[in-house]
Each structure stands twice: as structure tokens, then as C-alpha cells.
Amino acid sequence: MSKPPISETIRAKLEQYEVERHVSEFAAQAEQLLEHGRARAGQLVREHRDDVDRLVERAAHAVDRRTEGRHAARIDQVRLQIERGVERLADQDQDGR
């Protein structure tokens, strides 16, 4: 009596526990949660846009002061990237698109 190859044993257990179905369900739920989170983030940014812009500006100035201006160009680049990201979030429709 020889044992079946390990790959067949693993395949049988995966089928027995319906792993593929569970993983697919988990992925679908995760995608829905991510979309909901993105839509909610967009809503919050639209509602508090001035506060977000002010926070980003204050953070950039604080980092610039702490680094004594040595990284001012890079800080400006990062600040602009964050502002573009915030703008993209705010411009999404209610469904997060």
C-alpha cells in the first residue's frame, strides 16, 4: 500500500474544506469594504476639504522647519502629491469612482 502523493492529499483537503469558495467570498467582501472605505474617504474629504488642506500645509511647514529647509524641494513634491491624491478623492462620485 503506497500513500498518494502529497499534492493529491492537499488537493483533496482543499476541495473538502471548499477553500477556493471561501477565498473568493473573502476577496469579494474585501473589495466591497475597500470601495466603501474609499467612498467614505471621498465624502469626508469633500466635507472637510479646507481642514485637510490646512493640515497638509501645516505638516509640510513643520517638516521643513525640523529639517531646516534641507529637503524643501522634496517636501514640496510630497505635499503636491498628497494634494493631488486628496483632490482625486474629493472628485470621486458617491460610489467611489
Query: Average pLDDT of the chain?
Result: 93
| Full domain range(s) for residue 67 | 6-91
* Cβ proximity of 35 and 96 under 8 Å: yes
Domain contains 45: yes
87/5 Cα distance (integer angstroms): 55
Domain contains 97: no
Domain contains 1: no
In total, how many domains does the chain have?
Answer: 1
- Residue 49: closest CA among 91, 81, 21: 91
Domain contains 38: yes
Give tens-digit pLDDT for 76-85: 999 999 999 9
86/44 Cα distance (integer angstroms): 10
Give tens-digit pLDDT for 43-70: 999 999 999 999 999 999 999 999 999 9
Domain contains 62: yes
Domain contains 87: yes
Q: Indicate the pTM of the whole model.
A: 0.67
The DSSP secondary structure of 48-91, one letter per residue, reads THHHHHHHHHHHHHHHHHHTTTTTHHHHHHHHHHHHHHHHHHHH
